[in-house]
Amino acid sequence: MTSNFFQRRRVLQSAALMGLAASVGSDAFAQAYPNRSIKFIVPYSAGGLPDTVARIYAQRLGDRLGQPVVVENKSGANGVVAAQAMAASPKDGYTFLVTDGSMFSINPSLYKTISYDYKRDFVPVSLAARAPLYLAVHPKIPANNLRELIALAKAKPGVLTYGSSGIGSTHHLSMEAFKAALSLDITHIPFKGTGQSVPALIGGQVDMLFSALPSLSGFVKAGQVRLIGNNAGRRSSQEPNVPTLAEVIPGFDFAPIIGVLASTGTPQAAMDRITAEMTWVAKQPETIHILSNAGIEAVGGSASDYARAIADENERLGKAVQTAGIKQQE
């Protein structure tokens, strides 16, 4: 009996010492972090939405952390290259993924097999930004607002056309969700990126499309296109007079979100620090101004905010993929 008592006490003492050592080690890590450069991996080429967000935040995070934050583009294979780069990096708090929802919300619905599982392989760190897409129409279309466009589409089923940056893109799925919600028949003409789809709208090859504000604003000022809505859940401060589709379709929200994730197993202290600094940077007037000029809204949400946003986006985009009738690819 006495022997068992002392044995249990030794076990409890050992566990307490181990817990204390872990706590001390965690505190020491947090105090020293970061002591070298941090890497932001982006699953797209330079110049895209996630890359723009990553670079704007990286510069200001570097100033806050006292260590450089380097953006590394790992495009290709629908996010697989970036996922592999994350998997090959030490889970030490010095490598993060900055991406939009395509890797987690669209790809699993488009492809039967992908080599990564965001729930298994990644942990949300911070919701960085949101970038609404705008519904633009060619001036030849006799519709000055959403309700007039809807009425026109209902009166001429199958006659109107819309362009997109490609099958399965947010631009494509936003329009398919819009059509499905209102039982509209508008013909899809896909292109390879906005570099092709926007000129097609300007040239009158398509009647309308969704695109980001920077790719449209110059043409809007020149009177070559007209903005009649955006795909976010609320009006944007960048174009407050442009209504949202949610004002016609309650709950409609397909604005792309961009966030920061870490590999599963990354030290919590490192993730907490990045979350806190991202939130601080997002609130700074300079950050808000620079992002706004790029058609992007700063958010700076917590890890739990980002987790909820990913779950919501997964549900909406998954349904939109089914509505669009897109068949899964190998």
| CA 25 from centre of chain | 34
Q: Which uninterrupted H or E stretch holds 148?
A: helix 146-155
Structure confidence by residue, pLDDT tens digits, 91-127: 999 999 999 888 888 888 778 788 888 889 999 999 9
Contacts of 184-187 with CB under 8 Å at 24 or more apart are: 184/150, 184/153, 184/154, 184/157, 185/153, 185/157, 185/158, 186/153, 186/158, 186/160, 186/161, 186/162, 187/158, 187/160, 187/161, 187/162
As a residue count, the chain comes to 330
For 50, counting Cβ atoms within 10 Å of its Cβ (0-12 exposed, 13-18 middle, 19+ buried), the class is buried
| CA 103 from centre of chain | 9
Q: Which uninterrupted H or E stretch holds 230?
A: strand 226-230
Q: Across-strand partners of 110? A: none
Contact 131, 295 (CB under 8 A): yes
Instruction: Report the alpha-carbon distance of residue 186 to residue 133 in Å, rounded.
Output: 18
The four Cα atoms 211, 51, 122, 177 give a dihedral, to 10 degrees, of 0
**pLDDT value, residue 5:** 54
Spans of the chain, pLDDT less than 50: 21-23
What percent of the chain is helix, strand and coil (3-state, nearest 5)? 50, 20, 30
For residue 43, is the peptide bond before it cis, meaning its omega torsion is within 30 degrees of 0? no
Full-model pTM: 0.82
Structure confidence by residue, pLDDT tens digits, 226-250: 999 999 999 998 899 999 999 999 9
Domains and CATH numbers, the chain: 31-131+256-324 (3.40.190.150), 133-247 (3.40.190.10)
**pLDDT value, residue 71:** 97
**pLDDT value, residue 1:** 52
**pLDDT value, residue 239:** 92
For 10, counting Cβ atoms within 10 Å of its Cβ (0-12 exposed, 13-18 middle, 19+ buried), the class is exposed
Instruction: Report the alpha-carbon distance of residue 58 to residue 70 in Å, rounded.
Output: 7
**pLDDT value, residue 328:** 75
**pLDDT value, residue 138:** 98
**pLDDT value, residue 21:** 43
